[in-house]
């Protein structure tokens, strides 16, 4: 009762934001394989392409809370969808590193704004006994979006300018969501905040499919009357335990990022190439398996969260993540691959010729070679090369083959043992599954519940800022750190963070299943 067709339909349309977000986060894994070849991008430039979306997301999260609390959750989702369409359109006509950065920043602003607004909107229209299901629907949509992205990565891996099709596929869906959201009602709690009680009553009657919503409306009004007096600085004061709630929220998103899942998402194809899936198509297909596992794992978490509870799922997820990360780290210690060379091998030579053999990266010579080759080996263009580039290319093929540089930076290109290759993939899939039942959906459910309604948008925006900021830092340094300490030690660091998150959840996260937002707020205020 209280969760009729209209409530579910409204939540589903709002959760399309999650589908769009997941697609945008996942597609760069495969698109990067083509873009880095066509534009001859260095490792650092690839990190910047991935992280440009996060720059936009971080910027948006700093202002999104004010926009959501001032103008409403529904309007914020409409603006976000429109901006995603605009950002995608910017990318299509050009093959330019700079335009790619600008378009990805616009998309980052869009998904950051929509991720906050969607969770708040769904939490505020959902009845207490179905809030876990409906809010987690957004996370389910995110992982479905990631799966669609990986499927498109595989399908378009060998298509000329396939990356443009990847970026363009979201445009119709983004436009449809913006139109559909216009016809949905605002959040009843937002209407009460704006002193529009009559409109709030009508919206509640539609959502609950009953004419008697007096009791729920009275509780919302009495609670928001007190909560509406909060200022932003109250988030850092002891008033109603706001400082404690804020620390719980910030620490939770810290563990979402530092347990490593975002890098697996962004660099899935690159990681899989490093453990033996040699071709772009093979790596993209294996990463599609990652997307399937995310969807399959998120479904039971979404369906049973209201019965089992978010805290239980968080504990299970963190425990299994730690075990799978240890396994992944031990496997990768036996695969002797210099990870940096894997990303540098996304060159036109590897992309078109799939050349085998050992090579070494010297100070800029290979980068110069790639830049020269980019203009000669694009699919249908034939531009005259300079003699210097030809000489550099010949030197790299002869003098550097099989050699090691003075810094010891090299890659063994021999076949990775089949057992290790598949064990690495299996542990990766278990790790992804564990995140998808724990920190993935449950952290955002908890965040949508623990803050008072009058300042919920700004509180969510602050935690989102930390989320995107840490995501940006980790993504900007992942390839660099993997080169310095090795992929196995990166996995061991993520293991330690997973165990720390388990301890944090057990001690600090409250169980909220079956409680209304107002009941949760009153309990936490103590």
> By residue range, what is the domain housing residue 481?
234-343+416-525
- Looking at the fold, whether 55 and 177 belong to one and the same domain comes out as yes
- Looking at the fold, whether 294 and 154 belong to one and the same domain comes out as no
Instruction: Determine contact, residues 107/88, Cβ cutoff 8 Å.
Output: yes
Q: Is 35 a member of any domain?
A: yes
Q: Is 136 a member of any domain?
A: yes
The residue that leads in pLDDT, 60 or 290, is 60
As given in the structure block, the two tokens for residue 476 are 């900007």
Residue 486 DSSP label: -
- pLDDT value for 424: 79
Output the domain CATH number for residue 296: 1.20.1250.20
Q: Is 191 a member of any domain?
A: no
- Looking at the fold, whether 72 and 2 belong to one and the same domain comes out as yes
Of 27-41, 173-187, 459-473, 495-509, the least confident: 27-41
The residue that leads in pLDDT, 434 or 328, is 434
* Average pLDDT for 332-342: 61
Q: Is 110 a member of any domain?
A: yes
Rounded distance, CA 125 to CA 216, Å?
12
- Looking at the fold, whether 175 and 244 belong to one and the same domain comes out as no
Residue 453 DSSP label: G
Q: Is 393 a member of any domain?
A: no
- pLDDT value for 344: 55
Kindly tell me if the per-residue pLDDT of 29 is higher than 50.
yes
- Looking at the fold, whether 148 and 242 belong to one and the same domain comes out as no
Q: Give the C-alpha distances (Å, rounded to integers) separating 88 from 8, 48, 384, 523.
A: 29, 18, 33, 44
DSSP state string for 172-235 = HHHHHHHHHHHTSPPPHHHHHHTT-HHHHHHHHHHHHTSS--HHHHHHHHHHHHHHTT--GGGG
Q: Of 184, 216, 249, which one is at a domain's C-terminal end?
A: 184
Kindly tell me if the per-residue pLDDT of 130 is higher than 70.
yes
Kindly tell me if the per-residue pLDDT of 144 is higher than 70.
yes
Rounded distance, CA 135 to CA 139, Å?
8
User: How many domains are contained in the chain?
Assistant: 2
181-209 pLDDT per residue, tens: 999 999 888 888 888 888 888 888 888 87
307-322 pLDDT per residue, tens: 888 899 999 999 999 9
Q: Is 48 a member of any domain?
A: yes
- Looking at the fold, whether 180 and 243 belong to one and the same domain comes out as no
- Looking at the fold, whether 147 and 294 belong to one and the same domain comes out as no
What mean pLDDT is reported for the chain?
77
Q: Of 155, 184, 213, which one is at a domain's C-terminal end?
A: 184
479-504 pLDDT per residue, tens: 778 778 877 888 899 999 999 999 99
Residue 393 burial by CB count (10 A; 0-12/13-18/19+): exposed, middle or buried?
buried
Q: Is 97 a member of any domain?
A: yes
- Looking at the fold, whether 170 and 263 belong to one and the same domain comes out as no
Instruction: Determine contact, residues 143/294, Cβ cutoff 8 Å.
Output: yes
């Amino acid at each position: 009762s209280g969760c009729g067709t209209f409530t579910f339909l409204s939540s589903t349309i709002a959760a399309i934001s999650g589908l769009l977000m997941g697609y945008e986060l996942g597609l760069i894994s495969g698109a990067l394989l083509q873009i880095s070849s066509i534009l001859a991008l260095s490792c650092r430039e690839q990190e910047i392409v991935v992280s440009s979306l996060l720059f936009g997301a971080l910027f948006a999260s700093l202002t999104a809370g004010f926009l959501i609390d001032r103008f409403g959750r529904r309007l914020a989702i409409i603006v976000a969808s429109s901006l995603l369409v605009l950002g995608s359109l910017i990318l299509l006509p050009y093959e330019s590193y700079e335009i790619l950065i600008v378009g990805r920043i616009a998309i980052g602003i869009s998904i950051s704004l929509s991720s906050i607004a969607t969770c708040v909107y769904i939490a505020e229209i959902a009845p207490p006994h179905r809030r876990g299901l409906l809010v987690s629907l957004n996370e389910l949509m995110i992982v479905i979006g990631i799966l669609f992205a990986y499927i498109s990565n595989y399908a378009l891996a060998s298509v000329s300018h396939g990356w443009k099709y990847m970026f363009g596929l979201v445009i119709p869906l983004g436009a449809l969501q913006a139109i559909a959201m216009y016809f949905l009602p605002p959040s009843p709690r937002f209407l009460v905040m704006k002193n529009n009680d009559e409109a709030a009553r009508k919206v509640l009657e539609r959502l609950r499919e009953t004419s008697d919503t007096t009791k729920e409306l009275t509780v919302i009004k009495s609670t928001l009357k007190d909560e509406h007096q909060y200022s932003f600085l109250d988030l850092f004061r002891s008033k109603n335990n706001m400082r404690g709630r804020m620390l719980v929220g910030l620490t939770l998103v810290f563990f979402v990022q530092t347990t490593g899942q975002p890098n697996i998402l962004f660099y899935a194809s690159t990681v899989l190439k490093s453990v033996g899936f040699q071709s772009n198509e093979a790596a993209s297909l294996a990463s599609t398996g990652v997307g399937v596992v995310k969807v399959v794992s998120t479904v039971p978490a979404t369906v049973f969260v209201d019965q089992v509870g978010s805290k239980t799922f968080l504990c299970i997820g963190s425990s299994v993540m730690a075990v799978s990360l240890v396994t992944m780290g031990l496997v990768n210690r036996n695969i002797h691959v210099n990870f940096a060379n894997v990303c540098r091998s996304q060159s036109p030579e590897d992309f078109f010729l799939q050349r085998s053999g050992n090579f070494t990266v010297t100070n800029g010579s290979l980068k110069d070679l790639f830049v020269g080759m980019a203009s000669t080996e694009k699919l249908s263009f034939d531009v005259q090369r300079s003699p210097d580039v030809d000489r550099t290319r010949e030197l790299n093929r002869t003098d550097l083959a099989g050699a090691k540089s003075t810094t010891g930076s090299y890659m063994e290109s021999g076949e990775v043992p089949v057992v290790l290759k598949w064990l690495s993939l299996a542990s990766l899939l278990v790790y992804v599954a564990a995140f998808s039942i724990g920190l993935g959906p449950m952290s955002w459910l908890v965040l949508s519940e623990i803050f008072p309604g009058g300042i919920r948008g700004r509180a969510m925006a602050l935690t989102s800022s930390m989320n995107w900021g840490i995501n940006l830092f980790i993504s900007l340094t992942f390839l660099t750190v993997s080169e310095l300490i090795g992929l196995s030690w990166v996995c061991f660091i993520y293991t330690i963070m997973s165990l720390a998150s388990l301890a944090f959840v057990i001690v600090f996260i409250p169980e909220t299943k079956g409680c209304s937002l107002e009941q949760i707020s009153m309990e936490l205020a103590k």
